[in-house]
Structure 1
Amino acid sequence: MGSPTKRNGPLAGVRVIDLTTMVMGPYCTQIIADMGADVIKIEPPDGDGTRYISIGPSPTMGGVFANVNRGKRSVVLDLQTDTGREALRRLIEGADVFIHTMRAKAIAKLGFAYADVAAIKPDIVYTNAYGYSRRGPDRDLPAYDDTIQAECGLTAVQQMLTGEASYVGSIIADKVAGLTALYATVMALFHRERTGEGQEVEVGMFETMASFMLVEHANGAMFSPPLSKAHYPRAVARNRRPYRTKDGHISALIYNDKMWAKFVDAVKPSWAGPELATLQQRARQIDRVYGLLAETFLERTTAEWLELLRSLGIPAAPLRTPDELFDNAHLNAVGFFETVDSEYGPVRFPGVPTWFSRTPGRVAGPAPELGIHTRQILDEAGMGMGAAAAAR
């Protein structure tokens, strides 16, 4: 297979040792790989569990795994053995970033806590991505997306909105925490670039989602004494939902005063009096406003509303399924999807959502088969074929 493919992107030349599993950590390192870094995924002999939990072309290549591990190189190391741990130490010598999603006690027991890794590579950027920060009493609790959605207040907000406690239809805690681990790691790399200093970074999924939820829901509860309960009324209004039309549904937000005036002038609803003329007035009775709008949207078709609202500069969109995104005209026009050849045939990945004029990222390649790069990477580190075999 030779040496790793030369990559472009703002993180080209960065090497990452990736001991993450499932989605939070792998999503972070997937983006790092797409941005040009060489991401070496360290897997146990049975592989990352995400290989097995979704639909894919083989039993070890589920779709979720294939997406969040694309472009990485897979090395199988049994870290319960001296040989596996020694191989990892050798790989750390050439790394810029070490990132893991183990609980603090588990990574320390293996001998790869920050102090251990920094003793090998003093300028390493070392990122811990946990369920709960190790500085708190819940540090040793296991965590998954569902439990963090519950604990951070998201399921309670869903209950305010719909009347029933529920999860949102996306593994949002995993993904938001993964993005947080990404920016924290890159910030530490930026500091190292300026000073030469490595450091330890910690990202807790619970703390991340508490921060995420309280952006708007902290509201009056931030002040002393509290001025309100911790919730943002517009977000949890019972009538806040896509509007039914004559033939379907539409999403629309008639928000500021300029938009409101244009809508009232064009549609002339009988209920639109001076008591609703300002954003402040509407905010105080937002659920009633949504209910009145819902009645009005029943009067026209989805296409008629889209044409009118867009002509007025009011945000409006049809409701799409995830399947429809693959044929979306806008996404296809901007080249959002990238097709990558793999041993299973072409794979159409959702691509890099950011754009750089000088150092653009791109889908780094297909996801690796379990351990396929073990011999190659250990050879690069000077450990030879024997070490590769023993490490497994």
Structure 2
Amino acid sequence: MQTSTKPTSQPQTSSALEGIKILDLTSVVFGPYASQILADYGAEVIKVESPEGDSTRNTGPRLEEGLSAIFLGVNRNKKSICLNLKDPQARDALLKLADTADVLMHSVRPQKMAALGLDHETLLARNPKLIYAGLHGFGNGGAYAGRPAYDDIIQGLSGIADIMTIQSGTPRYLPTIAADKTCGVAAAHAILAALFQRERTGRGQFIEIPMFETMTSYVLVEHLYGHHLPGHSDEIGYPRVLTEWRKPYRTSDGFVCMMPYTDKHWRTFFSQSGYPQHAADERFTSISMRTRHIAELYELAGQIVSKHPTAHWLDFCDTHEIPAAAANKLADLESDPHLKSVDFFTDIQNDAGHRYRFTRSPIRMEHSRVDPVMAPRLGEHTRAELIRAGLSVEIVDKMLSSGAAKQHAGSSDKN
């Protein structure tokens, strides 16, 4: 097959989503993480906040008011405008912004958006090319539709607290905002898929990303297990990841993350560590048998690993091509040799002279690059963006005076 050498007629852009305008009415982590992913691909994300601002602006340590740690983690590369959507002028301003937007995403309960006249039917009638993304707790039409949802609630409902109970004996949530972030990734790819479909059809659409359904799907990838075979198996939950012995192995001086997985890995591990009798043990000779006896296998491996220091096992696994790594502490990540060598962390100094540290997008694209930009102050871009949307200077100034809109004190029309 010959490859065409004709130059492409497509315009060259500096980022994958350059020219895509997103109105982001989400808050906390679920929605902001999704919109940050899209901003990292080059979309112009305009964060629409209430006069009180996103609650995460006040979560964690801060150098200045409204720029707290959790907010910084999910709001880089965005602009911020501040509107009181209960005010008719602010609502009209948002509609004006939505008329030229590619995406509007929100995490407000659907009934509240309808009461404000900002439901998807209304906005799609005005702008048929709009992607209207509802990031909800529960799917419309379901028994739980319209209920509020936070990460802890969804972790509990989706079975995470239960699988923690099976493994440890105590119902617990994962010590990370797992539901918000997992569903945020799902929301980002759903929006990208809708944008791709619009390229083909010219039509926008309403899309819904419900947390409960999304997280349940995520958990059941491996844990539906025998229930994939209704009437033939009552087993639910993947034994390998549920055993209490699935954890970093304790060495004689610390911990190591070691993952013999294939038949060859386990034969090599046992025979080369001085325990050839276990390599021939029928309980451990195939993946199906190892899965059946996973607790015994991991307990036995743990006893063997405990006899030597971490460095020994890292060298052993490197020599015998068994996957292994050190168990990083959170405080180790900024000095991790790999993360340093790929410039994963970057420091930004803002106009107040404060230094902030951000991660970059983990994704690298040959023809798209977006460097991290400082997260915005509350209402930093209100005046400039409303004027850019076509509102007159007089109307915008009146909105700012009445409280329908709010502008950060140090901002200017140049933003």
Give the structure-2-normalised TM-score: 0.90
Helix, strand or coil for the counterpart of 1:213? helix
Q: Answer whether contact 1:87 1:387 (CA < 8 A) is retained.
A: no
Structure 2 residue 389 is the aligned partner of structure 1 residue 381? yes
Q: For residues 277 and 109 of structure 2, what CA distance do their matches in structure 1 show? A: 57
Contact 1:98–1:127 (8 Å) recurs in 2:
yes
Corresponding position: 1:274 with 2:281: yes
Q: Which residue identity is paired with 2:281?
A: P
1:213 Cα deviation from its structure 2 partner: 0.3
> In structure 1, what is the Cα distance between the partners aligned to 2:317 and 2:238?
26
Match of residue 182, structure 1, among 188, 195, 211: 188
C-alpha RMSD of matched pairs (Å): 1.3
SS at 1:138 equivalent: coil
Aligned to 2:364: 355
Give unpaired runs (5+ residues) of structure 2: 1-12, 406-415
Letter of the 1:97 partner, please give it.
V
**Which residue number in structure 1 is paired with residue 6 of structure 2?**
none
Q: 1:34 to 1:185 in 2, by over 3 A?
A: same
Q: By how many angstroms is 1:271 displaced?
A: 5.2
Give yes or no for contact 1:378–1:387 (8 Å, CA) kept in 2.
no
CA distance in 2, matches of 1:154, 1:26: 23
| C-alpha separation in 2, matches of 1:387 and 1:302 | 67
Conserved? CA contact 1:10–1:361, under 8 Å: no
Amino acid at match of 1:219: Y
C-alpha deviations, 1:185-214, integer Å up to 9, x for none? 000000001111111110001001000000
How far off is 1:339 after superposition?
2.4
- Check the 8 A contact 2:18/2:42 in 1, yes or no: yes
Give 1:123's aligned amino acid: K
Give aligned-pair identity as a percent: 36
Larger mean CA deviation between 70-79 and 332-341 belongs to 332-341
CA distances 1:307-327 after superposition (whole Å, capped 9, x unpaired): 111221111111112221111
Alpha-carbon distance in structure 2 between the residues aligned to 1:20 and 1:263: 49
Equivalent residue in structure 2 for 1:303, among 307, 311, 314:
311
**1:314 maps to what in 2?**
322
Deviation at 1:172, TM superposition (A): 0.3
- Tell me what 2:411 maps to: none
Q: Give the Cα separation in 1 of the matches to 2:204 and 2:334.
A: 41
Report the Cα distance in structure 1 between the residues aligned to 2:100 and 2:131, rounded to whole angstroms: 12
| Consecutive unaligned residues in structure 1, runs of 5 or more | 1-6
Q: Could you report, residue by residue, the CA deviation over 1:201-235 in whole angstroms, capped at 9, with x for unpaired residues?
A: 10001001000000000011122215023200111
Hey, what does 2:149 align to over in structure 1? 143
* Cα distance between partner residues in 1 of 2:392 and 2:340: 45
Q: Is 1:237 aligned with 2:232?
A: no
1:316-355 residue pairs with structure 2 within 5 A?
316-344=324-352, 345-355=354-364
Paired residue total: 385
The aligned residue for residue 205 of structure 1 is: 211
Seen in structure 2, the aligned counterparts of structure 1 residues 201 and 54 have a Cα distance that, compared at 3 Å, is same
| Cα-to-partner distance string for 1:51-89 (whole Å, 9 max, x where unaligned) | 112222123111111121111111111100111001001
Q: Does the aligned pair in 2 maintain the 1:245–1:301 contact within 8 Å?
A: yes
User: Is the CA contact (8 Å cut-off) linking 1:8 and 1:35 kept in structure 2?
Assistant: no
Tell which has more relative contact order, 1 or 2 (C-alpha 8 A, sep 6+): 1
Equivalent pair of 2:138/2:213 in contact (CA under 8 Å): yes
Q: Residues 130 and 22 of structure 1: is their aligned pair in 2 closer, same or farther, counting only changes over 3 Å? A: same
CA contact (8 A) 1:219 1:228 kept: no
Given that 1:149 and 1:167 are in contact with CA atoms closer than 8 Å, whether structure 2 keeps it comes out as yes
Amino acid at match of 2:193: M
- Which SS does the other structure have where 1:326 is aligned? helix
